Structure 1
């Protein structure tokens, strides 16, 4: 007997699983920290378009471009980068300084941000992979950089 022919318009059975990775929510301020000043803080990510981040920062630094917010003077901007975004944050600050003709001052500081424990995997398996941490292991940390940019006037 001949094998049954596939239905018109496709292969029999369910479609193959998608190979696309799902993205989580856009990163914001690290959890546990007080909320940042409204318009003067920029959280740099490695996913966002670099040129768009650069234009946004230039707009915020321009006279009347953005709110000073609590603790932030007009013409002042704070960049925050976490983990893999640290080099991009430094590059963004240097590009802004070069574009301003040296009229911007940079004040950089670094920190270490504790990471949350990974969530339990669906299925509830107790399998541990090499490198997984248990409850008794030390908490993991991630490097962070914070760069304050302000006009050449006292800042």
Structure 2
């Protein structure tokens, strides 16, 4: 007759099935001595003229000018700023500066989401295997729109 499992063995088996711990275990597998990390580009499923993707590498003043030009055209009454991860702070700053400089002719609303990202782990030697690492990152989508003249008359 087999001996019952000890509590530590039972505990370790139950932890193996927990998704968060599996994710942590995947992250521990990345070793810069054995693999190189290659982050896959972020998919941009929607790309319209009114979509602006904010990153920390882009020129802030150029994006500010691009937003102002789009909002001044008659055909486009709103723009969408899409920010990911560390660029969220920059996106918020850009949106608030646009609204402030418009003297309350612009309004904004924000939505958050989470995106799945995939990293490729390339082996540095022949003994290791290719693998991937999945992770999640926060997103912020800011809609900036012109107030209509009817709305201003109703408020007055």
Superposition pairs for residues 115-126 of structure 1, below 5 Å? 115-124=117-126, 126=128
Structure 1 SS opposite 2:122: coil
Structure 1, gaps ≥5 residues long: 1-23, 69-73, 128-133
Q: Of 70, 93, 111, which aligns to 1:60?
A: 70
Name whichever structure is richer in strand by fraction. Answer: 2
- The alpha-carbon distance between structure 1 residues 91 and 122, as it changes in their structure 2 partners (threshold 3 A), is same
Name whichever structure is richer in helix by fraction. Answer: 2
Q: How many residue pairs align between the two structures?
A: 109
Structure 2 equivalent of residue 21 of structure 1: none
Q: Distance in 1 between matches of 2:62 and 2:126?
A: 41
Structure 2, gaps ≥5 residues long: 1-37, 152-156
Q: Distance in 2 between matches of 1:58 and 1:76?
A: 11
Structure 1 SS opposite 2:94: helix
| TM-score, normalised with respect to structure 1 | 0.61
C-alpha displacement of 1:144? 0.6
Give CA deviations for 1:37-88 in whole Å, capped at 9, x if unaligned: 2x10000110011111101100111034xxx5xxxxx221000001110000
Structure 2 equivalent of residue 81 of structure 1: 83
